[in-house]
Amino acid sequence: MERILVYGQGGHSKVIQMMICNQRNKQVSLIADDDVSKVNEEAAARVILGKQLADYQQNFDSIVIAIGTNSIRKKVAEQYKNWSFTSVIDETALIADDAVIGIGTVVMPRSVIHPAVRIGKHCIINTGAIVEHGCKIGDYSHISPGAVLTGNVQIGELVHVGANATVLPGIVIGDNAIIGAGAVVTKNVAAGSVMVGNPAKPMKKRE
């Protein structure tokens, strides 16, 4: 039985906790949060502060970061880089045998990952997302519910692809870009861009 510490307490965390509880060989042993006000709240398991991890290291085997915001997820991963992270993959996800999924990545219910896909560390493949053949997704990126990456799409690091967005074949999306919900991406996207609409057009540049 793998005992998992879930880092974070928001709605995204509750879904991950549900996924873990549905698997026979895993359990939520602890929940960690950096917000002192949340430590005494009712939860599925005991809640501790992140800085207390060393005091409870006998109570968990691995950590999953249950935080939806890419930049915060990266910050936590780097802060605790010497700890053991785990991936959580829902049993209803359809994943090709040759797909490579990085450590700490969460693959949520009914998502589909096709052959020759490469997904980096600490990513989120959210509910019902489709990642078609040959796609590559950089570290700390988030593919939202219902989003579709068609064949051979290249996604950089810290990218957010909004719910029900579609990225057409062979498109390259640079680091730290945001694709709005429902957008249809027909051209390459520069790093830091915010793209919305059908076809997707830039709104502004992120710093």
Q: Are residues 171 and 102 in the same domain?
A: yes
Strand order in the sheet with 2-7: 47-49, 26-33, 2-7, 62-65
**Structural domain containing residue 41:** 2-79
* Widest CA span in the chain: 52
pTM of the model: 0.92
pLDDT band at residue 96 under the 50/70/90 scheme: very high
**Structural domain includes residue 47:** yes
Query: Are 107 and 192 in a shared domain?
Result: yes
Question: Are 19 and 6 a contacting pair, CB within 8 Å?
Answer: no
Catalytic residue among 114, 122, 133, 142: 133
Do 68 and 102 lie in a common domain? Answer: no
What's the burial of 207, exposed, middle or buried (CB within 10 Å: 0-12/13-18/19+)?
exposed
**Would you say residue 207 lies in a domain?**
no
**Are residues 93 and 140 located together in one domain of the fold?**
yes
The structure tokens listed for 74 are: 């990266």
The chain-wide mean pLDDT, for the chain, equals 92
Give the pLDDT of residue 45.
75
How many CA atoms within 13 Å lie on the side-chain side of 32?
Answer: 23
Cα 39 to Cα 66: distance, rounded to the nearest angstrom: 16
Instruction: Note the pLDDT tens digit of each residue in 66-87.
Output: 999 999 999 999 999 999 999 9
Question: Residues 127-177: pLDDT tens digits?
Answer: 999 999 999 999 999 999 999 999 999 999 999 999 999 999 999 999 999
CATH of the domain at 40: 3.40.50.20
133 is catalytic: yes
pLDDT tens digits, one per residue of 18-57: 999 888 889 898 988 887 666 555 566 788 888 888 899 8
